[in-house]
Structure 1
Amino acid sequence: MSNVNFSAYAALGAVKPTQTPETPAKGATEASPVAEGFSTFKAALQEAEQAAMQTAVSGADPHAMVEALAQAELVLDAAVTVRDKVVEAYQELLRMPV
């Protein structure tokens, strides 16, 4: 039996924005909304995991864990909704006559 360790935000760690905030592109004054969304998603998952581990190990505040998990669930629901809209738009493009 293989031991597979998977972390949702570790997979997102490989996703790097093409430009850092220190070196914006010509005419660009803010980060890409997609890159910002990925970083928000990653941060929410990390916060929820840390809160769950602290509660399990040291008996930290369970209310903080529930709040962090609820926030992670909201972010995940938003990400799934965006993904569904992108897939739906792509399917509509495929159905268009050329």
Structure 2
Amino acid sequence: MITAFDAANAYSAARSAVRPGSPAAPSPVEKLGQAAQDFAAQMAQVDAVATGAMTGRTDTHQLVQTIAESQLAMETVVAIRDKVVEAYQEILRMPV
């Protein structure tokens, strides 16, 4: 049974979600766009560090660390791409 206290708590929890002028949560498309920008920034950082290592301005330890981070980012992007392709193929296999 729902008591008045439970209803008041639920109302106060939902109140901030419907308040006019409150910032909306980012959509999945915006999140995906931000992830793509973060990935591009990571790859640009790898290029800068690799160039610095070739010219002697960057230490080798930093180069190895940056390459390891970029490898993890690349594996994540490839895994996401594989999931998207798999979902697309599943949709194509659906009977109409």
Q: Is TM-score (shorter-chain normalized) higher than 0.5?
A: yes
Unaligned ranges ≥5, structure 2: 1-22
Rounded to whole Å, the distance in 1 between the matches of 2:57 and 2:45 is 16
**Could you tell me which amino acid in structure 2 is paired with residue 58 of structure 1?**
G
Q: How many positions carry a matched residue from both structures? A: 73
Deviation for aligned residue 1:59: 4.5
TM, length-normalised to structure 1: 0.67
Q: Quick one: percent identity of the two aligned structures?
A: 35
More helix by share: 2
1:50 aligns with 2:48: yes
**Equivalent residue number for residue 77 of structure 2:** 79
Rounded to whole Å, the distance in 2 between the matches of 1:60 and 1:94 is 49
**Could you tell me which amino acid in structure 1 is paired with residue 90 of structure 2?**
E
Secondary structure at the aligned position of 1:28 is classed as: coil
The structure number with the bigger radius of gyration is: 2
Secondary structure at the aligned position of 2:34 is classed as: helix
Unaligned ranges ≥5, structure 1: 1-26
Alignment of 1:11-50 (within 5 A): 28-30=24-26, 32-50=30-48
Show structure 1 runs of 4+ deviating over 2 A. Answer: 27-31
Rounded to whole Å, the distance in 2 between the matches of 1:92 and 1:60 is 47
Deviation for aligned residue 1:40: 1.1
TM, length-normalised to structure 2: 0.69
Instruction: Pick 1 or 2: higher relative contact order, CA cutoff 8 A, min separation 6.
Output: 1
Q: CA RMSD in A?
A: 1.8
